[in-house]
Structure 1
């Protein structure tokens, strides 16, 4: 039997009509709407009735453009989408499985940093991949994911390896990649994405400042571009050529915090394994800070 969430659309519907469809009272509809709101679902209530916030990827309103994004779990409040998807992957979920949550109580970004978001205004999801890759090729996947996100959003550029920056250098979105290995092979990859669409924490940027894209449109675009780019893991030079075009890092003076200390200098190249070269030093992992300023409009797709 459908619940209230299954009936909501982007147009207001009266409490009377919804009550009739659900076989409950108008008071019960109001109570359920408030419960959903408390759980993080962006239900909007007014004198006109009830609706879901426009752009919300409710399962009956979101239609993945390809094979990625199926099956799909849309949730309200969770610990983190990465943890939910990991449990699902261990149960045998197929490649393309998607978990999206409106509220993450333990949302995290790269290097364990907390990721701030707001229900109905931020986009936080995790996607399951089961690539047939040796562990040695994993370094290219974060770059590919960042490239897919850049293409989906259509503004800004990529700070190595996969932070999406606005044209003025503020952070728009990020990607967290976690993988499980079995021997020398990759069993599965959890690709977590956080994007500031209609809201951003202090110091970051919201996509709405630069583009009218909705959360649902960003999600669809990311899945479509990721699917089209995945075969390039077999053609690293083609992938790296495309990545270089989107880079806000190459040719710029940077400061990188690495496990061995700070490296500062000009970012010279992206190496075949996806690592960054700064003043002749190979960096496989680290936190990049751009020292030289950006030029507005640089690298927009």
Structure 2
């Protein structure tokens, strides 16, 4: 047992913690400072020692389904995706979750860096072992984006899975990395980054629109994702539900693809997860919404 295992959102005295851990008060203080240095949101003041509200400590995190277990809560890491990949290769079960307070090499789609800050950002990776044929894998990022949208109840989705604020700024993103074995998916790593109480310049954070804490967002996402996973076997139903959350469909867009820009009205998301723009199928690219942000389609 360590200091993190005892901390709650209510202050506790150094004396009480020292007694519970069987160490000196000086040792408690030293450990608290070490944890702060690693990015953990430990608060030390005259009232005692506590964790910032909404922090997803393992003993405060209560997933309501099978996803999110087992759980590793870490301080400063390179990337949660890399940590989870190593765990997956070692045999971690579906639902395994890695969450870090700080990432030194956090990344988004297409290898872009993902900025985050301890205590104000939510960055985690979830392991899935879906029995899916490879052509169906393209639906998983859409489903994850939909789960995030349903969990926070704010904004809308830019294809494939960026969560935007009502005024079009980026709130969150999802990164899918997968390993294939033959024609099937061996495992998939869903990396999620949410700006909860802070955002980089030009982006938005959830605190502008909602009082949800990091812990509430995490638990809500896992619950919604588990409820939506069966829709991978019902693409038409999934895409109908995705359409309700979309800031992209029915709107003029410019998609920057490896082969150059494609411009036109975003007409539909196809059963493989690709986007139909002006009659052209786009499998991957960055969407630019032209003419502002439209409300999600009813």
What TM-score comes out, normalization by structure 1 length? 0.97
What is the Cα deviation at residue 206 of structure 1? 0.5
Q: Deviations over 1:252-298 (max 9, x none)?
A: 11111111110111111111211101110000100111112125xx3
- The equivalent of 2:131 in structure 1 is 132
1:101 aligns to what SS in structure 2? strand
Q: 1:299 Cα deviation (Å)?
A: 3.3
Q: What is the number of residues matched between the two proteins?
A: 298
| Equivalent residue, structure 2, for 1:299 | 296
Q: How far does the alpha carbon of each residue in 1:84-126 deviate from its partner, in whole angstroms, 9 at most, with x for none?
A: 0000000010000000000100000000000000001100000
Match of 1:253? 252
Query: 2:73·2:98 contact (CA, 8 Å) conserved in 1?
Result: yes
Aligned to 1:193: 192
Three-state SS of the structure 2 residue aligned to 1:168 is coil
| Residue 159 (1) aligns with residue 158 (2) | yes
Instruction: Please state whether the residue corresponding to 1:187 is helix, strand or coil.
Output: strand
Q: Residue 123 of structure 1 aligns with which residue?
A: 122
**Contact persistence 2:275–2:282 (CA under 8 A):** yes
CA distance in 2, matches of 1:246, 1:292: 18
Matching residue of 2:202: 203
Q: Shift of the alpha carbon at 1:300?
A: 10
Contiguous gaps of at least 5 residues in structure 1: none
Aligned counterparts of 1:205 and 1:299: Cα–Cα separation in 2: 18
Calculate the aligned-residue CA RMSD, in Å: 1.1
Aligned to 1:113: 112
Kept in 2, the 8 Å contact 1:166–1:205? The answer is yes
Matched, 1:28 2:27: yes
Q: Structure 1 stretches (4+) deviating beyond 2 angstroms?
A: 298-301
Q: Give 3-state SS (helix, strand or coil) of 2:50's partner.
A: strand
Deviation at 1:25, TM superposition (A): 1.5
Cα distance in 2 between the residues matched to 1:290 and 1:275: 17
